[in-house]
Amino acid sequence: MSPAGFMEISNLLIGVFLIILGVVVKHFKLYFLIAGYNTMSKADKEKVDIERVATLLRNVMVFMGLALILLGLASSYMDTPEIADYLFFPIIIGGVIYLIVKSNSKAYKK
């Protein structure tokens, strides 16, 4: 398998993993997987609208997962599949930054 083929498969697998992780956190209430929430005091946890944060997390994870899946599929049809290597980290880092900034806004506080 060529290195480009490996990147396509890894993008697909990581994308599927992110989608599953987002859905599991939201629908199975695995809030302890949300960074920082598990270590908050009980008083601080009561100030957070965890349902809305979990919905935001699910939406961002599904978006990142779908973006990686589409990137993996598109790179298999492109003349220069290494473009997927350059877009992988901006998708992940951009999604994480958006998630951190948005979840810490006043809209997700009680």
- CA–CA distances in Å: residue 52 to residues 6, 7, 37, 97: 36, 34, 13, 17
CB 71 within 8 A of CB 36: no
Q: 41: alpha, beta or left, given left = phi > 0 and alpha = psi -120 to 50?
A: beta
pLDDT digits (tens, 9 = 90+) for 40-99: 999 999 999 999 999 999 999 999 999 999 998 888 888 877 888 899 999 999 999 999
pLDDT band of 6, cuts 50, 70, 90: confident
| Distance of alpha carbon 3 from alpha carbon 86, whole angstroms | 14
The pLDDT, as a whole number, for residue 1 is 57
pLDDT digits (tens, 9 = 90+) for 13-40: 999 999 999 999 999 999 999 989 999 9
Range of the structural domain that residue 49 is part of: 3-108
pLDDT band of 2, cuts 50, 70, 90: low
Return the H-helix or E-strand segment holding 25: helix 3-27
Task: Tell me how many domains the chain contains.
Answer: 1
Which of helix, strand or coil describes residue 30? coil
Cα of first residue to Cα of last residue in the chain, in angstroms, is 51
